[in-house]
Amino acid sequence: MSTPDRHPKADSIAGVLANLRRVPRRVRRESREVIEAAVTQLFEVVVRHPGGHTASREYRIDDLARLAGTTTRNVRVYRDRDLLPPPRRVGRIALFNDTHLTRLRLITSMLDRGYTIAHVKEMIGAWEQGKDLGDILGLESAIAGSWTTERPQTMPSSAAERLIGDPQALRRLMGLGIVRIDEADSSRATITRPKLIEAFNEIRGYGISVDRLIDLYEETLPHIDAISQMLVRAGAEHVLKRVQPGAPLPADAEIAELIGMLVRFRTQAVASVTATLAASIESTIESMVSGLLAESLLH
């Protein structure tokens, strides 16, 4: 009979929870940052090691196709083209697992973006040889490569000023928490949303002022937060059925399963909202350009 590991690895669910339990209760109560840091670690562990904390589920081909949003015929085609690894056979039944599901969702995402099956096969081959698929395709929403999708960037304050290129805009961004000056060392600054600043700089290259872009950010943020709260509420309702506030935490394996569910929930929610928003923006742009052309041609 094996004995339980008294010192679980720090980069495991059990390790993170064990470290958190070792923190004095008074500190846990008085410092919310301790809890928040542990929560971030829990999600990072599950993202780095998907399926490494709970047994991989198995699916028949019908269930696999349904969960991936495709057809059984497509699954067979991808299998025949060696895009999917062989399933486990139990008699005449083919059983697929979470690895197949993740791969199938990735294939579907790439095909939806206009890639051919030949391109997909080539890219997946490159991925399997150790190349970063995110670098090859830019498909950050297709795989949960990291829990925190945007890492803050620290740089000299002078570099941040040059990056923004507008003193008034810099002050506004500091007020929004997008740029932070180190209180202990004012010569250091942190960009908390580097992708947002990158987008601002690209768009203003067309002549749109950064102030106008910040206005748009402030106008849309409450709507984005409202959508996020609606989506997360669905996942929270499921979690609260199994983790009651004030009650002892369930077993580590059950916590890992719940966190894994939320990670997959995040990935699919981002993908669905991104697709919906892209379709809406494309439709609006086409309608606007059609109106402009019609006005010009009729006069």
Question: How many Å apart are CA 249 and CA 242, to the nearest integer?
Answer: 9
Strand partners, 96: 59
Q: Is 86 inside a domain boundary?
A: yes
Question: How many Å apart are CA 226 and CA 206, to the nearest integer?
Answer: 30
Domain count along the chain: 1
**Mean pLDDT, the chain, integer:** 79
What DSSP designation does 228 have?
Answer: H
Helix, strand, coil shares of the chain as percentages rounded to 5? 65, 5, 30
Q: Is 110 exposed, middle or buried (0-12, 13-18, 19+ CB in 10 A)?
A: buried
Q: Is 102 inside a domain boundary?
A: yes
Q: Is 110 inside a domain boundary?
A: yes
Radius of gyration from C-alpha coordinates of the chain: 24
Phi, psi for residue 208 in degrees, rounded to 5: -85, 130
What pLDDT shows up at residue 136?
A: 46
Distances (CA, A) of 240 to 29, 44, 235, 249, 258: 21, 21, 9, 11, 10
The CATH code of the domain that includes 71 is 1.10.1660.10
CB of 263 closer than 8 Å to CB of 43: yes
What pLDDT shows up at residue 179?
A: 94
Q: Kindly indicate the confidence band of residue 160, based on its pLDDT and cuts at 50, 70 and 90.
A: very high
What pLDDT shows up at residue 8?
A: 54
- pLDDT tens-digit series, residues 74-84: 999 999 988 88
Q: Is 98 inside a domain boundary?
A: yes
What does the buried/exposed string (b/e) look like for 22-33 if buried means 16 or more CB atoms within 10 Å of the residue's CB? eeeeeeeeeeee
Q: Is 76 inside a domain boundary?
A: yes
Q: Is 133 inside a domain boundary?
A: no
Q: Which of 163-177, 212-226, 255-269, 281-295 has the lowest mean pLDDT?
A: 255-269
From start to end of the chain, where are the E strands? 58-59, 88-90, 93-97, 153-156, 179-181, 188-191
Give residue 82's domain range: 61-114
Q: Kindly indicate the confidence band of residue 147, based on its pLDDT and cuts at 50, 70 and 90.
A: low
Q: Kindly indicate the confidence band of residue 138, based on its pLDDT and cuts at 50, 70 and 90.
A: very low
In a 3-state reduction of DSSP, which class is residue 106? helix
For residues 12-17, average pLDDT:
74
What DSSP designation does 35 have?
Answer: H
CB of 40 closer than 8 Å to CB of 240: no
- pLDDT tens-digit series, residues 204-257: 888 999 999 999 999 999 999 998 888 888 888 878 777 777 777 777 777 777
Question: How many of the other CB atoms lie within 10 Å of CB of 160?
Answer: 22
- pLDDT tens-digit series, residues 30-56: 666 777 777 777 777 776 665 555 445
The pair of three-digit structure tokens given for residue 173, joined into one six-digit string = 């961004």
The pair of three-digit structure tokens given for residue 154, joined into one six-digit string = 């620290």
What pLDDT shows up at residue 238?
A: 78
Q: Is 138 inside a domain boundary?
A: no
For residues 6-23, average pLDDT:
68
Q: Is 153 inside a domain boundary?
A: no
